Amino acid sequence: LLDGSAGVTTQVSNSAKISGFRFGGTSRTTTVTPTGLITVQQTTAATAALYTTTATLSTGVITAGNVSLNGVSFSLASGATLASVAAQFNAASGQTGVTAAIGTNNIIFTQTQTGGNRSVNFVDQNGTLSSAANTAATTVGVNAAATVTVAGQSVLFTGGQQGMDGLTLMDS
């Protein structure tokens, strides 16, 4: 995988052994055929957007307030715990595209998909999970990038193009 988690390097030199990996067409002025060495070199690993709330909630108990996560509003009840607040955010993960985890006396939000066109947008009107009221923060992920070399011709492929996730690579 181009997010770096596979940790595997491979070289295909027999086109009969290629499965699920297809190149065709032209690369600049070279016609791409399924014979010869094809190399893929990751240059940038894809990452998901990540945001950590700034309040240090040493008691683990929340005061009442309103927050917004990727445009979805949440009312947090007074006396709620970090665990119950994280569960409230995770219950809406299908709407927000974000998961919540308990950090060290705070909440860590992570986008469920990678790439520069996937973000975590967090607004805290009351300072419930932030060190100040009216906190607004946006973080974005990073698109994967890889150089594909076929018959000595190299082309840079990047993720996140045309609305795709950060791991789906396309040439520019």
Report, in angstroms and rounded to the nearest whole number, the Rg of the chain calculated over CA atoms: 22
CA distance 145 to 172: 11
CA distance 2 to 47: 10
Compute CA distances 18 → 72, 127, 155, 161, whole Å: 44, 54, 20, 26
Question: Which pTM value belongs to this model?
Answer: 0.74
Listed in sequence order, the residues at least 6 apart from 84 whose beta carbon sits closer than 8 Å to its beta carbon are: none
Say how many C-beta atoms besides its own lie within 10 A of residue 10's C-beta.
8
- Let me know: does 61 contact 79? Beta carbons within 8 Å: yes
Q: Residue 27's pLDDT is what? A: 58
- Let me know: does 148 contact 39? Beta carbons within 8 Å: yes
Helix, strand or coil for residue 167?
coil
Q: For residue 152, what are its two tokens?
A: 């000595």
What's the pLDDT band for 157 if we cut at 50, 70, 90?
confident
The predicted-structure confidence for 22-36, as pLDDT tens digits, reads as follows: 455 665 666 656 555
Match 């927000």 to its residue by tokens: 96
- Let me know: does 38 contact 15? Beta carbons within 8 Å: no
Q: Residue 134's pLDDT is what? A: 83
Q: Residue 122's pLDDT is what? A: 96
Whether the per-residue pLDDT at 6 is higher than 50: the answer is no
Q: Residue 87's pLDDT is what? A: 97
The predicted-structure confidence for 130-141, as pLDDT tens digits, reads as follows: 888 888 999 999
